[in-house]
Amino acid sequence: MNKVKVTSVLMSALLAVLLCISSAYAVADIDKDTQKCITCHLANKMAPKMIEMWENSKHAENGVGCLACHQAEKGEFDAFEHNGFTVGLYPTPKDCSQCHEKEVTEHTKSKHAYQFWLYAPADRAIFEPIIGTKQGCESCHNISNQWPDGSIGECDACHPKHSFSIEVARTPQTCGECHLGPDHPHIEIYNESKHGNIYAALGDKWDLSYRSDDFENIPIEAPVCTTCHMDAVGDMKSTHNVSARLGWESQAPWSYRTIWFEEELGSWQDKTQRMQNVCANCHAPTFIKDHFLAYDLVNLQYNEIRRAFLYWVKLYVKEGLIKPLKETFNDGKERAQSQLVINAGWYTTASEMMYNGWHHEGRRFRHGAAMGGADYVQWHGVWELQHDMQEMINWGAEHGVEEAMKIAESDSPAKFFPYKLYDFPGGVYSISTKENQGVTTTQQYIPDYWEKVKANVEQAYKKGFLTKVAWDRWMERYNNKDHFDGTKYGSHPLYGPYNERKKLELNLKDPNSPLSQAININLPSPSPAEEKIK
């Protein structure tokens, strides 16, 4: 070995030692095999940052070296011989379970782990080239990767490789790697919410590496994603089963009450109560009741909208306007796509509207309500759902469907509601005022509005979709409508002056009013279209 090469190896070894000494956790005792790995990787400039991340990890602090995760037996699916060691290229949850059995078991029973069927379902694998799903959907859904060793998941989807930082795993942006975009914009909803607002203002001062079971010393002032879905809170233990506190399957084409691992996690009521127990650490009981009541009714209202979408698409299939796709599969058999409830083909406006009404707008409507993101409930949610519905009906009218034509040509605002309604008196988090009720709404032009809504909510309660607590709270609001909608309190003192000011501003008969001046500015030069296009 020449002098230059010897010097290089010695310098690499020295660098490895210096890195260990300067590590945040000051690794005191590195096993000899791990030291061999470090020396060789540094000498060959193989991912030196990987070593630095490990050295600053809890693994290093506790003497967990390279082979603790990368040791493999000959014949294992990822085993190969490497400098005298048999190593596995892909540490799997089975490897992690040697030390973290509880966490791996909990994850394996969560909805995170059961997304393998979502790698390439019909709405993606048929409609787009599969390379798109590999770099797209599968990049996130690998949290449910099925490994040849029988384990499932990707622990480093949340805990980054080699540092396995709990602080990174708790940072909302980590969840936001996957929980974002038009179909599940949870990070955007969180950022919009008061919780996210507080995190944006103060989060850079929080130490997210805390132990959540040390409840009295948690150094945060608002929840991050894991606070609600995973962390220990009060007497409630932490969990890696992110389904343990969810009472609705609100991502699905229909919202339904969950029975996921009911034998272990309990009923949907138990799961909902867990989430409410989290809320109770910051919020008053009445606030929690109202929030969850509103969320329940949003899910039930979504189902009625979904029912209407299905009605129209099935009618259009019957009329021959939509033809469900057929394909000859590798087994030589031809069969129609069975997912009418999801697609019915993607080649018509009506098909697209039904799909978006579930997968995009419908999810945003429901999830915005769950997480306190008003803009996603409203403009990105139910507003666009309404547009989808009207566009679907108008499409049928344009194609001569008589029933659709009657609705499209109607001049009644009732045309916007070809489905049954849920509601509750007053605002979600506050009492309305008389003026809030002064605008023409469905409450004004639908006869016996509250009696009809009450019948619907009562039916949902009797059918087991609402708890007795939710129903009692609804009835409390119903029996005190004039309090919750503000009509018993008369006009607000600002309402009169406001109206007087608007009369002055909006008076079109007065050429000096602001609105008249804006409308009648009368610019002297023509528009390009007027001048050039005759």
Burial of residue 503, with CB atoms counted within 10 A of its CB: 0-12 exposed, 13-18 middle, 19 or more buried:
exposed
Give the SS3 label for residue 360. Answer: coil
Q: Can you tell me the distance from the alpha carbon of 436 to that of 428, in angstroms, rounded to the nearest whole number?
A: 13
Task: Write the CB contacts of 316 (distance below 8 Å, at least 6 apart in sequence).
Answer: 322, 348, 350, 396, 399, 401
Between 123 and 104, the higher pLDDT residue: 104
The pTM of this model reads: 0.90
Q: Are residues 461 and 340 in the same domain?
A: yes
The pLDDT of residue 437 is above 80 = no
26 band by pLDDT with thresholds 50, 70 and 90: very low
Report if residue 238 sits inside a domain.
no
Q: Are residues 5 and 26 in the same domain?
A: yes
Q: Can you tell me the distance from the alpha carbon of 355 to that of 348, in angstroms, rounded to the nearest whole number?
A: 11
Q: Can you tell me the distance from the alpha carbon of 238 to that of 236, in angstroms, rounded to the nearest whole number?
A: 7
Tokens of 484: 């919750």
Report if residue 502 sits inside a domain.
yes
Give all strands (DSSP E) within 127-250, no chain letters: 248-249
Report if residue 132 sits inside a domain.
yes
Tokens of 478: 């119903």
Between 3 and 292, the higher pLDDT residue: 292
Mean pLDDT of 89-99: 95
Closest Cα partner for 370 from 205, 243, 186, 501?
Answer: 186
pLDDT at 439 (0 to 100): 58
- Cβ(350)–Cβ(312) below 8 Å: yes
Q: Are residues 45 and 120 in the same domain?
A: no
Closest Cα partner for 246 from 236, 235, 259?
Answer: 259
Q: Which helix (H) or strand (E) holds 123?
A: helix 122-125
The pLDDT of residue 2 is above 80 = no
Q: Tell me which residue range forms the domain holding 104.
A: 90-157
279 band by pLDDT with thresholds 50, 70 and 90: very high
The pLDDT of residue 11 is above 70 = no
Average pLDDT taken over every residue of the chain? 88
Q: Are residues 459 and 334 in the same domain?
A: yes
pLDDT at 17 (0 to 100): 46
Q: Can you tell me the distance from the alpha carbon of 429 to that of 92, in angstroms, rounded to the nearest whole number?
A: 45
Q: Which pLDDT tens digit goes with each residue over 208-252?
A: 999 998 878 888 999 999 999 999 988 899 999 999 999 999 999
First-to-last CA distance in the chain? 86
Q: Which pLDDT tens digit goes with each residue over 48-59?
A: 899 999 999 999
- Cβ(149)–Cβ(202) below 8 Å: no
Q: Are residues 75 and 149 in the same domain?
A: no
Q: Which pLDDT tens digit goes with each residue over 314-356?
A: 999 899 998 877 766 677 666 555 544 455 556 789 988 999 9
pLDDT at 118 (0 to 100): 65
265 band by pLDDT with thresholds 50, 70 and 90: very high
CA 416 remoteness from chain centre: 27
pLDDT at 436 (0 to 100): 64
Q: Are residues 141 and 54 in the same domain?
A: no
The pLDDT of residue 10 is above 60 = no
Residue in the block written with tokens 């469907």: 401
Closest Cα partner for 311 from 346, 355, 341, 345?
Answer: 341
Q: Can you tell me the distance from the alpha carbon of 444 to that of 485, in angstroms, rounded to the nearest whole number?
A: 13
Report if residue 465 sits inside a domain.
yes
Mean pLDDT of 104-121: 84
- Cβ(51)–Cβ(19) below 8 Å: yes
Report if residue 477 sits inside a domain.
yes
Tokens of 164: 């396995």
The pLDDT of residue 23 is above 70 = no
Last residue of a domain, one of 62, 89, 116: 89
Q: Are residues 314 and 461 in the same domain?
A: yes
Q: Are residues 409 and 441 in the same domain?
A: yes
Q: Can you tell me the distance from the alpha carbon of 282 to that of 291, in angstroms, rounded to the nearest whole number?
A: 13
Tokens of 458: 């009562």
Work out how many domains the chain is built from and give that number: 4
Report if residue 323 sits inside a domain.
yes
Q: Which pLDDT tens digit goes with each residue over 351-390?
A: 889 999 999 999 999 999 999 999 999 999 999 999 999 9
pLDDT at 66 (0 to 100): 94
Mean pLDDT of 263-286: 96
Q: Which pLDDT tens digit goes with each residue over 170-193?
A: 999 999 999 999 999 999 999 999
The pLDDT of residue 86 is above 80 = yes
24 band by pLDDT with thresholds 50, 70 and 90: very low
Q: Can you tell me the distance from the alpha carbon of 320 to that of 187, in angstroms, rounded to the nearest whole number?
A: 41
Report if residue 211 sits inside a domain.
no
pLDDT over 70 percentage in the chain = 87
Residue 416 per-residue DSSP state:
G
Q: Are residues 472 and 510 in the same domain?
A: no
pLDDT at 1 (0 to 100): 46
Q: Can you tell me the distance from the alpha carbon of 323 to that of 344, in angstroms, rounded to the nearest whole number?
A: 7
pLDDT at 428 (0 to 100): 85
Last residue of a domain, one of 59, 89, 119: 89
pLDDT at 122 (0 to 100): 64
Q: How many residues does the chain have?
A: 534
Last residue of a domain, one of 109, 132, 157: 157
Q: Are residues 372 and 470 in the same domain?
A: yes
The pLDDT of residue 7 is above 80 = no
Report if residue 187 sits inside a domain.
no
Q: Are residues 331 and 429 in the same domain?
A: yes
Q: Are residues 74 and 29 in the same domain?
A: yes
